[in-house]
Every structure is written in C-alpha cells, then in structure tokens.
Amino acid sequence: MPNLIAAPSESNVSRLGSQKFSAAPDMPHSGSTPRLGDATLSPLIHDRSEIVPAEVVCLVDDDPSILKSVGRLLESDGFRVSAFSEPEAFLEYVTANSVPLVVLDVWMNKMTGMELFAHLCARSPGTRVIFITAHEDHAAQATVMQGGAFAFFIKPFDGDQFLKTVHDALGHSLVKSSAAA
C-alpha cells in the first residue's frame, strides 16, 4: 500500500474526482482528473507540522476488486484503510480496535452485511456504517437505514459523493469551494 503522506518533497496525492467506482479492475479515467500514481500531481502538504495521523476506515467486501478500488479512493483522500474480505476477520479486529467507521457490502457469501451489522451493533454500537451494494435492493436499504446505518450506496457510485459521506460520518466539516454550486 502506498504511503500517502511522505516527506514534503514527496507528498504527492490526488483526489480521484467524480468518476464512478465499480467492480472493474481498471477504473475508467476521465482524462484531466489526476489519478493516484500520476507524475503530474501537486504537493498536498508543505508544512510537516500540519500533518495529522490518517484516520482508519474499515472496508468489508468479499470482492477483491471492490476492496482495491474503494480502498484506493479512500486512500486518495488521506484515509488509512483496513480492508477485510472475510466478515469474521473484521469482527475479530473490532474486538481489539476502535472502529469509528466501516464500509460494508450488503451481499457477501459467508455472512451478509446485514448480519455483520447486527453483530457490530452489539460489539461496537458507536461505529458508523456505510453500506454498499451492486444490487438495487429497497428492502435491504430500508432495513439497514432503520437499523441505524449512516448511508447506502449502489455500485457504481459517485466518488466525490461517497467521500463527502465518509467525512460526514466521521463528523468532519468540509469547506466548499466557491466554484461549487
């Protein structure tokens, strides 16, 4: 995993913009929006005194391409990601670590995201949960939202909206640019 906060001369990080994220291994690129790994990225941090430890966002999905693409999106915005392909491994992690936010897939093979959510509510009631799914499922959406989920996204989803929701879930206040409408 790349280190996104490096020495000032190496601190090149980008936002992945408003491109859509899906299970495709190679995500589409909109041309002018810089991507992680581009050589033309501008430095993010110039003063090391402004560096704060990156917050950890947990991600649970049994699809490796989603773990990779959503993980990269979160990392591009300065988050550290703890990714889990097995719900049971995440539950073990929760017993030893504070988890302020987790992104859960609704439909996984060994345990559904809704079942995992029930276990999580019992073990870590303060954890915020954002659900993602590839299937439009109004019943699942209603169930998890009534159960206290913070948000629900259908893949592919807008990267900027997803990141805004992650920041909202963590209680961050974001300053809107004057160009935003």
Mean pLDDT of the chain: 76
pLDDT at position 54 is 78
Digit-coded pLDDT (tens) for 78-89? 999 999 999 999
Domains identified in the chain and CATH numbers: 55-172 (3.40.50.2300)
pLDDT class of 175 with cuts at 50, 70, 90: low
Integer Cα distance of 111 and 102 in angstroms: 16
Q: What pTM did the predictor assign?
A: 0.69
pLDDT surpassing 70 at residue 17: no
Extract the runs of DSSP E, i.e. beta strands, from 12-156.
Answer: 20-21, 56-60, 80-84, 101-105, 128-133, 151-154
Contacts of 97 (CB under 8 A, 6+ apart): none
pLDDT surpassing 90 at residue 41: no
pLDDT at position 172 is 84
pLDDT at position 24 is 40
Place of tokens 């704060």: 52
pLDDT at position 53 is 61
